[in-house]
Amino acid sequence: MTFIEELVALLGPERVRHHPLDLIVFSKDAGVTSGKVIAAVLPEHTQEVAAIVRIARRHDTPIVPRGAGTGLAGGAVPVEPGLIVVLTRLNEIHEVDEVGRTAWVGPGVINLDLSRSLEPVGLHFAPDPSSQQACTIGGNVATNAGGPHCLADGTTIAHVLAAELVTADGSVVVVGSEAPDLPGLDLRAVVVGSEGTLGIITKVLVRLTENAPDVATLLIGFPTIEAAAGTVSGIIASGLIPAALEIMDQPMVVAVENFVHAGYPTDAGAVLLAEVTGTREGVKSGVAVISAIASRNDATEVRVATDSAERAILWKGRKSAFGAVAQAAPDYYLHDTVVPRTALVEVLRKIYEIGDRYDLHMLNVFHAGDGNLHPLVAFDARKPGMLERVQAAATEMVEVSIEAGGSLSGEHGIGLEKRHLMHLVFSDVDLDAQARVREAFDDAGMMNPSKILPEGSRCFDASGVRL
Ligand SMILES: Cc1cc2nc3c(=O)[nH]c(=O)nc-3n(C[C@H](O)[C@H](O)[C@H](O)COP(=O)(O)OP(=O)(O)OC[C@H]3O[C@@H](n4cnc5c(N)ncnc54)[C@H](O)[C@@H]3O)c2cc1C
């Protein structure tokens, strides 16, 4: 039997997609690259995933796991012609332990659906990527996703206790455990953020967080982005860790306001969206601290949302920011770097300079509390040389972030997009060590090959001699 025939025999024709239109759909994620797809399959449970892996291995075909395809680093894009394993149908919430505050969930559960389903019991899944209406828990785990509320709660790694994984030989293994302090190596931490290179996640044990009794959302206008960033530094220095601290520069405020009409002040040089959660008294005092620090930094407007509807529309503005940019140009390139909070203003200044030098239409929105920058370039990829210009500017932006003590990615991952820059933060020996870990999970090199690690990362033999 051919490869496709074997897959059809296992799953039936409806769940094996290889029509030319399907191949286009599954050749891309939400980033700017595309690849070559042989077929996309839609398994419904772990044993089907394991059987698919065994078939692909027999046919020597690389596998690319895929959730909702909202990734921005090309993680779900096949480099060599490959089989896309789409996990969206493993979307069951298997069990919720309200007392222990954990849940076993399928990787295809949509992030926001999980939190919505937990509303009646007063719990939620804390990582809240701005794509949470579409992205999956499996994708969140594979990229160690962040989100506006990860400032206080931590990124996905802090909310995953265990994961079930199908490895490259079709074995089903569990990393991590329900029990606290599992002895031995923490393979859970190795798998979280591995972007599909170590295996296919088929179940996740997530930690659930109690909904806060009270919450306040503030929208603060500033004359300049420096004043907004200074306020963020001042808030953190005061000892207060708000639930979220998000900054938008003026071009982004204008784009968002035109899109969602949330009442953002379009004449402000920058806007800070801050949220404090906790007890009624704690929230009241948090609002007072933030308002005072903002006033000292020349805030032009401090608005505290008066009810949940107003809070929702303020957040809708922030979470629709990338969609809002479609008004300006048909394509966008979203950068993702992270810098020490103290370096925010300096790095932003350099990023604006780079944008000007490359003559790019740039808008900024970022998780300021985490130092996670997201310069966004709106452009038209049909213009000759445009994408290359955007990518050259991107490399410079990464370089200035790293020079300031930052890193390659705050949350989107390395995928295809940044693997050529890994040598900026890792030595040959570091990369070789990572390649060996990968080999231990995947001796055939078939799980999302050509991702994260640059070519030639495996450069020492078992005795330590350079290959
Ligand atoms: C508008 C917009 C806003 C965004 N905002 C944020 C944000 O605030 N924070 C943030 O962190 N990201 C953000 N992202 C990026 C993206 O949504 C996240 O990286 C998300 O976690 C990807 O989930 P997904 O289901 O779409 O995964 P995909 O894009 O399908 O895959 C992402 C990576 O995970 C791997 N993968 C997916 N599922 C599995 C699985 N079951 N097993 C093994 N590997 C798997 C893939 O191979 C790939 O390498 C945003 C994207 C968009 C388009």
User: Does position 322 have pLDDT exceeding 90, yes or no?
Assistant: no
| Token pair in block for residue 121 | 């019991």
Q: What are the backbone angles phi and psi of residue 169, rounded to the nearest 5°?
A: -100, 10
Share of the chain above pLDDT 70, in %: 99
Q: Which residues line ligand 1 (CB under 6 A)?
A: 29-30, 64-72, 75-76, 87, 107, 129-131, 135-136, 138-140, 142-143, 145-147, 195-196, 200-201, 322, 411-412, 415, 448
Residues 159-214: tens digit of each pLDDT: 999 999 999 999 999 999 988 888 899 999 999 999 999 999 999 999 999 999 99
**Residue 364 · residue 249 · CB < 8 Å:** yes
- Determine which residue's CA is closest to atom 49 belonging to ligand 1: 75
Q: Minimum mean pLDDT among 288-292, 316-320, 385-389: which range?
A: 316-320
Q: Which residues pair with 379 in a beta bridge?
A: 331
**Residue 334 · residue 212 · CB < 8 Å:** no
Structural domains of the chain ordered from first start: 3-86 (3.30.43.10), 93-210 (3.30.465.10), 214-322 (3.30.70.2190), 328-420 (3.30.70.2740)
| Token pair in block for residue 463 | 């005795």
* pLDDT score at 321: 87
**Residue 416 · residue 29 · CB < 8 Å:** no
Contacts of 343 (CB under 8 A, 6+ apart): 371, 404, 405, 406
- Determine which residue's CA is closest to atom 44 belonging to ligand 1: 196
* pLDDT score at 463: 67
- Determine which residue's CA is closest to atom 15 belonging to ligand 1: 71
- pLDDT band of residue 394 (cuts 50, 70, 90) is very high
* pLDDT score at 280: 95
Per 3-state DSSP, the chain is made up of helix, strand and coil in percentages (nearest 5) of 40, 20, 40
Query: Residue 51 Cα, ligand 1 centroid: separation in angstroms?
Result: 24
Query: Residue 452 Cα, ligand 1 centroid: separation in angstroms?
Result: 14
CA distances from 461 to 431, 458, 464 (A): 13, 8, 5
Question: Roughly what angle, to the nearest 10 degrees, separates helices 46-58 and 3-11?
Answer: 170
Residues composing the chain: 467
Contacts of 299 (CB under 8 A, 6+ apart): 220, 221, 222, 227, 231, 291
**Residue 353 · residue 245 · CB < 8 Å:** no
Residues 130-168: tens digit of each pLDDT: 999 999 999 999 999 999 999 999 999 999 999 999 999
Query: Residue 56 Cα, ligand 1 centroid: separation in angstroms?
Result: 23
Q: How far apart are CA 315 and CA 305, in angstroms?
A: 11
Tell me what the mean pLDDT of segment 81-96 comes to.
98
Q: Minimum mean pLDDT among 272-276, 299-303, 407-411: which range?
A: 407-411
According to DSSP, the β-strands at 37-41 and 63-66 are unpaired
Q: What ligand 1 atom has the least distance to the C-alpha of 70?
A: 26
> What is the best residue among 105, 125, 143 to mutate for testing ligand 1's pocket, by most ligand atoms within 8 Å of CB?
143
**Strand (E) or helix (H) holding 366:** strand 361-367
| Token pair in block for residue 420 | 């050529």
Query: Residue 2 Cα, ligand 1 centroid: separation in angstroms?
Result: 32
Q: At 22, which amino acid appears?
A: D
Residues 404-450: tens digit of each pLDDT: 999 999 889 999 999 999 999 999 999 999 999 999 999 999 999 99
* pLDDT score at 325: 87
Residues 10-64: tens digit of each pLDDT: 999 999 999 999 999 999 999 989 999 999 999 999 999 999 999 999 999 999 9
Q: How far apart are CA 426 and CA 318, in angstroms?
A: 33
Cβ count within 10 A of residue 395: 13
Residues 18-29: tens digit of each pLDDT: 999 999 999 999
User: Does position 128 have pLDDT exceeding 90, yes or no?
Assistant: yes
- Determine which residue's CA is closest to atom 53 belonging to ligand 1: 70
* pLDDT score at 157: 97
User: Could you say which DSSP state residue 451 is in?
Assistant: S
> What is the best residue among 46, 109, 131, 197 to mutate for testing ligand 1's pocket, by most ligand atoms within 8 Å of CB?
131
Query: Residue 127 Cα, ligand 1 centroid: separation in angstroms?
Result: 12
**Closest among 50, 53, 51 to 64, alpha carbons compared:** 53
**Closest among 332, 311, 337, 335 to 322, alpha carbons compared:** 332
**Closest among 293, 276, 283, 287 to 228, alpha carbons compared:** 293
Q: How far apart are CA 299 and CA 226, in angstroms?
A: 11
Computed over every residue of the chain, the mean pLDDT equals: 94
Residues 329-367: tens digit of each pLDDT: 999 999 899 999 889 889 999 999 999 999 999 999 999
Note the helical H segments in 70-130. Answer: 111-118
**Residue 272 · residue 231 · CB < 8 Å:** yes
Query: Residue 228 Cα, ligand 1 centroid: separation in angstroms?
Result: 29
Share of the chain above pLDDT 90, in %: 88
